[in-house]
């Protein structure tokens, strides 16, 4: 075989191999897609104090696992204890004023009742004197005196009723003051309880930069609580997700665990991405200017959970995800081979 014939044969073999590989990658991208753009995600909850004070005690260490309700750290509560004592004194004072108002109301009610009885008695007496005067047995002077006494008793009854109503209003105001003082007491007790910061969920303490004596401002994050609940996010091109849906089986290869393949499934696919969204800010649209012949493909994020126990890996750990959108045995076997090869290559990089 001449050198020219040998070269031609190798060129043909290379072209055939290229065509086969090209066809393989086109089919693989649609029916057994794979992406190295995957990470472990967990909920990260910033832990902040709800009141401001100096840090007095710290009960946890960095990377320590904590349970929901476990005490994380304490703040100096001296000011809040005094505030609670003051609120309790205010509540007792308001209750004392309420009792005084109740006593004043009882006295006013009794006085109004007595004034009413007097007015009724004098009114009846005036009626008898009128009848006696008509029969000629009572003088005009005594008649006028009885009428004046009856009118004075009626005025006294009105004044007593007014004082009774005023006492009722005072009692209502005292009741409102008791409620206000009770609310202030509850607020003071709540502020005091917030000097002890507890874990809101099970998780692991992260980024603990707290020391005794630091000033903790209300709302300022002091540490992070990383949830035990984990999932994997994988970014794939839109075209690769044509046959993928929630429930599609996947294999996951974590960079930190070479040689191992974990089974899982897709739980959801994001309905959109932030890139390309125009904010409703009243401005005109700004088209994207690009001189590239081939633009980058848009990627969508998928959320994946394991079908087995989660390995002890850090949040943000990188992974490679192999999807199985096709039930074809041949394609399924090729996809499994891809995942196995990636798991072995993780020994090298």
| pLDDT of amino acid 334 | 87
Flag whether 116 is in a domain. Answer: yes
| pLDDT of amino acid 184 | 93
Flag whether 248 is in a domain. Answer: no
Flag whether 184 is in a domain. Answer: yes
What is the residue-averaged pLDDT of the chain? 84
| pLDDT of amino acid 190 | 94
| pLDDT of amino acid 220 | 87
pLDDT tens-digit readout, 61-91: 888 999 999 999 999 999 999 999 999 999 9
Q: Distances from the Cα of 191 to the Cαs of 81, 83, 134, in angstroms?
A: 9, 9, 79
% of the chain with per-residue pLDDT over 70: 90
Flag whether 139 is in a domain. Answer: yes
Count of the separate structural domains present in the chain: 1
- Are the CB atoms for 171 and 105 separated by under 8 Å? yes
| pLDDT of amino acid 142 | 67
Phi, psi of 198 (to 5 degrees): -115, 160
Within 10 angstroms of residue 101's Cβ, the number of other Cβ atoms is 20
Higher-pLDDT residue of 145 and 323 is 323
Give the pLDDT band (50/70/90) at residue 228.
Answer: confident
Instruction: Determine the structural domain holding residue 183 and report its residue range.
Output: 78-194
Flag whether 167 is in a domain. Answer: yes
| pLDDT of amino acid 295 | 73
pLDDT tens-digit readout, 150-199: 677 667 777 778 888 888 888 888 889 999 999 999 999 999 999 999 99
Mean pLDDT of 193-220: 88
Flag whether 52 is in a domain. Answer: no
Flag whether 118 is in a domain. Answer: yes
Flag whether 297 is in a domain. Answer: no
Mean pLDDT of 302-325: 91
- Residue of 324, 340, 320 whose CA lies nearest to 332: 324
Residue 58 has pLDDT above 80, yes or no: yes
Residues 6+ apart with CB under 8 A from 103: none
Within 10 angstroms of residue 315's Cβ, the number of other Cβ atoms is 16
Residue 278 has pLDDT above 80, yes or no: no
| 111, two tokens | 């006085």
Mean pLDDT of 142-148: 66
């Amino acid at each position: 075989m001449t050198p020219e014939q040998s070269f031609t044969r190798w060129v043909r073999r290379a072209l055939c191999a290229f065509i086969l590989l090209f066809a393989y990658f086109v089919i693989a991208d649609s029916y057994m897609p794979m992406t190295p753009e995957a990470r472990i995600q967990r909920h990260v909850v910033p832990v902040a104090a709800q009141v401001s004070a100096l840090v007095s005690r710290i009960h946890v260490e960095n990377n320590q696992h904590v349970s929901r309700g476990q005490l994380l750290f304490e703040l100096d509560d001296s000011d809040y204890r005094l505030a609670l004592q003051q609120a309790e004194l205010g509540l007792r004072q308001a209750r004392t004023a309420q009792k005084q108002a109740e006593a004043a109301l009882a006295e006013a009610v009794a006085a109004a009742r007595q004034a009413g009885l007097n007015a009724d008695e004098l009114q009846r007496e005036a009626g008898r004197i009128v009848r006696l005067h008509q029969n000629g047995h009572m003088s005009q002077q005594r008649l006028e005196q009885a009428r004046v006494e009856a009118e004075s008793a009626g005025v006294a009854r009105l004044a007593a009723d007014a004082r009774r109503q005023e006492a009722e209003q005072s009692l209502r105001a005292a009741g409102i003051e008791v409620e206000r003082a009770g609310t202030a007491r509850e607020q003071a007790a709540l502020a005091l309880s917030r000097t002890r910061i507890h874990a809101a969920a099970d998780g692991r303490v992260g980024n603990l930069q707290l020391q005794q004596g630091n000033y903790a401002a209300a709302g300022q994050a002091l540490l992070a609580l990383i949830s035990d609940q984990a999932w994997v996010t994988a970014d794939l091109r839109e075209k690769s997700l044509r046959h993928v849906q929630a429930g599609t089986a996947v294999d996951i290869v974590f960079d930190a665990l070479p040689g191992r393949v974990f089974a899982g499934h897709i739980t959801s696919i994001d309905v959109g991405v932030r890139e390309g969204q125009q904010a409703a800010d009243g401005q005109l649209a700004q088209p994207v200017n690009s001189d590239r012949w081939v633009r980058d493909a848009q990627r969508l994020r998928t959320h994946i959970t394991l079908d087995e126990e989660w390995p002890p890996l850090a949040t943000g750990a990188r992974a490679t995800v192999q999807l199985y959108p096709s039930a074809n045995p041949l394609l399924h076997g090729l996809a499994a081979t891809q995942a196995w090869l990636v798991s072995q290559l993780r020994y090298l990089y």
